Amino acid sequence: MKKILLLLSILLISFSSCKEYRRIKRDIKTTSEISNFLFSYPIIPISIIGGALLLMFISSISNSKKDKIARESFLAKANELKLSNSITSENYEHISVLINSKLTIQKIEVILNNLIEINKISAKILPNDFVLLTDFIYDIDFNNYRDINSAQIAINRKGQAYVNHYLLVNKYGNDIGEKLYNKESWIGMTKEQVIDSYGTPTDIQVEVLKTKTKEIIIYGNKSSGEVFTCEDGIVSKFKK
């Protein structure tokens, strides 16, 4: 009701000022007279300001309605995903909370899409890691990133790290898998374990000797990075 009264008041002021302006504009001939006119009839500048406020008000109402419709539609989409088991009931409840927050639809969509993706690969993530990754997505603060794309990269890296954790434990067992995930190194580990733990090397220097093959696996710079010396595929020394 207050908004309607405000709108009517602005329209009345604008209408009155237009009538007043038409009545006396024929008497205004110079810049000085225009200035005096504006000071003498403040209804005119007030009317201009009122018109600007009116446009802002109408635009605000329109944007508010569009945003409300978009949020309702988005929540309906999330409900459909819950019913199809693409997201969990807990995921849906979290999205419902975000819908009523100040977070933009675009950012909520990033969160929803990532929840869909991690549910697809849930079998390839250890249970504890899955909880941590879900919480990371739930609580991501977009203000800590340059843009939405940067936030997505951070989520991807976190997800890939947890997938790697699962693969290492599944391949080597809990004890060795945990060591490799935490990038622990030891004499006697294999070349394969080094690469599984650290990823693709920057360089591998191979020297074939009479009785053995010597390989130097380098990550980063040889003088300041991680360097592993392997003999016949077994680490004989390393520098970190």
∠ CA 13-19-20, rounded to 5°: 85
Q: What is the pLDDT of residue 40?
A: 55
Q: What is the distance between the alpha carbons of residues 141 and 151, in angstroms, rounded to a whole number?
A: 8
User: For residue 55, with 0-12 CB atoms within 10 Å meaning exposed, 13-18 middle and 19 or more buried, which class applies?
Assistant: exposed
Question: Residue 200 contacts by C-beta under 8 Å, 6 or more apart in sequence?
Answer: none
pTM: 0.71
DSSP annotation of 229: E
| Predicted confidence pLDDT, tens digits, the chain (240 residues) | 545 545 555 545 554 555 544 554 555 544 555 555 555 545 555 555 665 665 565 566 666 788 889 999 999 999 999 999 999 999 999 999 999 998 999 999 999 999 999 999 999 999 999 999 999 999 999 999 999 999 999 999 999 999 999 999 999 999 999 999 999 999 999 999 999 999 999 999 999 988 999 999 999 998 899 999 999 999 999 998
Supply the angle between the helices 43-83 and 2-24 in degrees, to the nearest 10: 150
Helix (H, G, I), strand (E, B) or coil at 200: coil
List the structure tokens of 192.
Answer: 């394969």
**Buried b or exposed e, range 65-94, using 16+ CB within 10 angstroms:** eeeeeebeebbeebeebbeeebbeeebbeb
The secondary structure of 101-144 as a DSSP string is SSS-HHHHHHHHHHHHHHHHTGGGS-HHHHHHHHHHHHT--GGG
